[in-house]
Amino acid sequence: MDEEEVNMRGRLSQITKTSFVPSSSSLSASARVRSGSLDHSFHSFPSSTHSPLIEVRTTRLNGQSRTPSPHFSPLLGTQLPKSDMMTKRFRSTGIYPSPSPELIERDDGSFNKKLLQAEERLISKELKTKSEGKGRFIRIVEVSARDGLQNLPGPPVPTELKRELVERLLDAGVRNIEVGSFVRGDWIPQMADTSKLLPTLPSLTGKSLPLGIPSPPSSRPQTPESENGSLINESSLKHIIDNTIIPSSADQVHFPVLVPNMKGLENLIKLQEQHTANGGGKLTDEVAVFVSATEAFSQANNHAPLSKILSSLPPVIDKARSLGYRVRGYVSCVITCPYSGPTPPQDVIDVAMKLLEMGCYEISLGDTTGEGDPESWRKVWRQCEGRGIDMSRVACHDTFSLALSSIISLLPYGLTSIDSSLAGLGGCPYSPGATGNVPTEDVVYTLHKLGYETGINLDKLVETGNWLSSSLKLRNESRVGRAIWARRKSRELKENQSNGLIPKGEHQGGSNKDISMQGQETEDGM
């Protein structure tokens, strides 16, 4: 034991006996403070053998000493690693396709120009995630055209814009797109044109359409180095979809529409008859019915008691199935209700079981308020699964930023279908503060990174999300969408400058940001 440590331990012993040692000249000799029965005293403990004393406050309440929180008091004998050790431990490297201007101007071959053409940053080995998904296919049900638009204020979204949205989603590889709702136009004005939209959509209902072209490295983070440290061939960075492990039905196109009651179904049937008479094909092969897991939300959303809604659905489902429609069931407020608070899982089970018994081919559980977290979702999952309910379908809203983590937590349980909305668009008009759905771009990026398949081209999806946000003049709520789009625009700007199309130091069109990005932070350059 060296002399410095002996002196330090001696000082510590003295501190314990006296309960107070001034650590600076700013402390007066009467630093002990008394207020009523409270007694505050200061203690000093060494945080390491090479650092000064650290003060810790101990509070006495009615003569009894209360131990300070371990989060605010140092542990005796502990010592932080030196700064160079911290650097080595947490250092991670990456290769960026857009280097500094100094590197761009150099033409000595010291920088691999192929990397400049890369679609995205290639993440280093230290940051590469394991392919836990092993190619398992996850179906994405895109709800932006219905659930995403239904709550927008202001004038109705043009039907032509909705048609283009559906076509762009198809081009990106999305095959299940909820396109509208046969509800009363005075209740949900944004859905009043569903009968006009359906006949304008591509005649692809129930048909197979090749899945989206595999996304480039931007959506599949990988290392650019082989095991021996050398750069691997650029083509090997591209992810190739293994069609042998994707269900044969994954490429079938479906345009589900919401029908709240028999009146809504009859409107769809009438529209189909008119379309067939004009030589048209099948508009849709799927309808969806919905019911709340709570009485309070049923009164607000359906304007009727829960018992009445449930009793009205069997004839709707029976008639739809007799006409060749498959029926999907939605259960809302499965985690919490905006009016009655936490939802008992048993209530969710009761409603879901009744929908299955009525003939729904699947049930989508919706966290309408967006308050779900991984643990609450697992609780509902386990209890529903214990009753024999197929728990492979789930829908999460992202009001409190926990939807994506909840989805990830359910993947090991066998989750196979996820409802999401482009650019995080959406929200329920009867759930105050519910900001929207989990962004499809974020879901697809995460699934791809974890090794799951979606058949979706992420870059085309991102392009569509930013186009939609720009067209609606709304903020793009997808962090993945904003990040990839900002990098793409930055890269395009640099390419135009290097080709002499734009003088260096100037932005194309006065700004290199999309209208949906103006005034917003991005992850560009992180």
Q: Residue 337 has what pLDDT?
A: 92
Q: Is the pLDDT of residue 30 over 60?
A: no
- The whole-number pLDDT of residue 114 equals 46
Q: Give residues with Cβ within 8 angstroms of 212, minimum separation 6.
A: 171, 172, 173, 174, 455, 456, 457, 460
- 110-168: pLDDT as tens digits: 444 444 444 334 433 333 455 578 889 999 999 999 999 998 988 999 999 999 999 99
pLDDT: is 439 or 225 the higher one? 439
Q: What gap in Å lies between CA 302 and CA 40, rounded to an integer? A: 59
95: exposed, middle or buried (C-beta count within 10 Å: 0-12, 13-18, 19+)?
A: middle
Q: How confident is the model at residue 432 (pLDDT cuts 50, 70, 90)?
A: low
**Tokens for 165?**
């949205």
Q: Are 501 and 509 in contact (CB under 8 A)?
A: no
* Max CA separation in the chain (angstroms): 100
333, 337, 360, 428: the catalytic one is 428
Mean pLDDT, residues 472-476: 93
- The Cα-based distances of 316 to 188, 313, 349 in angstroms read 21, 5, 21
Cα 204 to chain centroid, rounded: 29
* Confidence at residue 56, expressed as pLDDT on a 0 to 100 scale: 41
SS3 content of the chain, % helix, strand, coil (to 5): 40, 15, 45
Q: Give residue 329's pLDDT.
A: 95
The answer, yes or no, to whether residue 523 has pLDDT greater than 90, is no
- CATH number given to 3-41+88-474: 3.20.20.70
- pLDDT per residue as tens digits for the range 31-48: 443 434 444 444 444 444
- Residue 447 C-beta-side C-alpha neighbours within 13 Å: 28
- 291-312, pLDDT tens digit by residue? 999 999 999 887 889 999 999 9
Binned at pLDDT 50, 70 and 90, residue 59 comes out as very low
Residue 79 pLDDT class (50, 70, 90 cuts) = very low
Q: How far apart are CA 132 and CA 126, in angstroms?
A: 16
Structure token pair of residue 526: 């992180």
Task: Pick the more confident residue, 65 or 174.
Answer: 174
Query: pLDDT of 371-420, one tens digit each?
Result: 899 999 999 999 999 998 888 777 777 767 789 999 999 999 999 999 99
Candidate from 49-53, 179-183, 293-297, 430-434 with smallest mean pLDDT: 49-53
Residue 400 backbone dihedrals phi, psi, to 5 degrees: -115, 25
428 catalytic? Reply is yes
pLDDT at residue number 485? 86
* DSSP bridge pairs for 201: none
Per-residue pLDDT at 490 exceeds 70: yes
Residue 94 near residue 213, CB atoms below 8 Å: no
Q: Kindly report, residue by residue over 334-347, the tens digit of the pLDDT.
A: 999 989 999 999 99
CB 275 within 8 A of CB 283: yes
For residue range 1-25, what is the model confidence (pLDDT) as tens digits? 555 555 555 554 444 444 333 444 4
The whole-chain average pLDDT of the chain stands at 74
What is the predicted pLDDT for the residue at 408? Answer: 94
Tell me the pTM.
0.69
pLDDT tens profile 352-366:
999 999 999 999 999
In 3D space, the residue among 397, 395, 471, 468 whose CA is nearest the CA of residue 428 turns out to be 397
At 511 the three-state DSSP class reads coil
Task: Band the pLDDT of 466: cuts 50, 70, 90.
Answer: very high
